Amino acid sequence: MPDSHPSPCPQSPDDLNQIVLSPQDLAFERLVTKAILQSLQIDKILYVVLSGVTSGEGLGFNRGLFLLADDGQRSLRTGMAVGAIHREEAFRIWEEMVAKDLTLEALLSVYDSVKDDPDAHQLSRRLGYLHLSLENLSEHASMAPDLSTIGRCRIETMLAQSLLERRPLHSQTLELACEQISDSEPFSFVNWWIVPLLTSERIVGCLVVDHAFSDGEVSVGRQHLLATIADLSAIAIEKSKIFDEMRALAQVDGLTGLANRHTYNQAIHRLLTQGRQTGRPLSIIVLDIDHFKRFNDKHGHLAGDDALRFVASVLRANARKTDIVARYGGEEFVVVLPDTTYEQALSVAEKLISTVRVESTTTAWGTITICAGVASSPEGGMDGTTLFENADKALYRAKRNGRDRVEGHFRIP
């Protein structure tokens, strides 16, 4: 795509010569950089950056949004958002911060106390549905208007253009519309900046900030600082993912190669936290091999190990890149399905049961069947223990009702 708009961030040596950072800006850069580098938790990295860019001691934007690429590099989804939805709320928050004399350093230190607070994630939940397919960037970007246009366009359009052109975009006149069919009132980013988060090999995500409730002239120095913080965020997020992958390799089940119970427990805690922040659903399927003791008695324990590996391979082959498949213990498995409703999880479970039954007919020991229990947390509002117990209850109901079947447990917390 031709580079039809001037870049809002410094590009040339002459631009760089204009960069002057105030002592406050330098202090902000040091504080945020230190906080980012000290964390290996993606959510905390997002919180640190968004708190920094929206703080009066930081870059002073009114609102900030991170969208992150999924592990399969198929789409961007809302990661975290900070700021007010309405002008009145913005002034109330500002007055509270002034009254509490809440400094940026103090704000960064309270992450653990606010990460599960629904009031702290209202904007994340409001924008939790945002989604951009990375496989159709050119199609989205082809609809991008000129940045000087007065009006509104879909946020996905400008995100795609920023990612394709690999540079920040800014407009004072074009509003970014974040809408879905069920929205009763429109939401837009106003006087906004989009900064792509990129490495040499991957799209990490995008950072969106705006000045919806205040006049926001951003100096060349602060433009450069915003881009620098975005670059640092991309590196830190990738580092965190690599750390998680390395840790997962050390936490696999030795027999099946699946994640083990400890890895499952860590993952479910992290994903439920994200669900509470964004309002997106999470479902799990707990599965058990039918009459496994009888199978071992008949075919021997070596065949039993082969059967466990067979079921594990079927579960893994039918999982998405974003799903987590774990051996929970013995002949019991669990599949974690992010962004999946209760009804969708029931369909997935039915498919898994059918696939195991059909594909096992070609094995030396003949047909194997499994049963499954499904449970969901519609908005992450359930703890991991309760979610698993609900799925486990459904699993035992499936056993009582004849096995080779799925049962579900649905309850809104």
Residue carrying the six token digits 């324990």: 301
Q: Cα separation of 67 and 221, whole Å?
A: 24
Which candidate in 165, 331, 379, 407 is catalytic?
331
Tokens of 133: 């397919």
Task: Determine the 3-state secondary structure of 402 from DSSP.
Answer: coil
Task: Determine the 3-state secondary structure of 74 from DSSP.
Answer: coil
Task: Determine the 3-state secondary structure of 409 from DSSP.
Answer: strand
Q: Cα separation of 47 and 49, whole Å?
A: 6
Q: Cα separation of 390 and 375, whole Å?
A: 6
Tokens of 37: 């580098």
Q: Cα separation of 362 and 92, whole Å?
A: 66
Task: Report the candidate in 300, 316, 317, 314 with the shortest Cα–Cα distance to residue 364.
Answer: 300
Largest Cα–Cα distance of the chain, in whole Å? 79
Residue carrying the six token digits 């990738």: 238
Tell me, yes or no, if 331 is annotated catalytic. Answer: yes
∠ CA 392-395-398, rounded to 5°: 160
Q: Cα separation of 125 and 127, whole Å?
A: 5
In angstroms, the Cα distances linking 369 to 137, 259, 331, 393, 399 are: 43, 22, 12, 19, 11
Tokens of 174: 């074009």
Is the CA virtual torsion 106, 109, 113, 117 positive or negative?
Answer: positive
∠ CA 139-141-147, rounded to 5°: 155
Tokens of 63: 């609102």
Contact 158, 169 (CB under 8 A): yes
Contact 269, 282 (CB under 8 A): no
Q: Which amino acid is at 379?
A: E
Q: Cα separation of 48 and 70, whole Å?
A: 21
- Annotated catalytic residues are 331
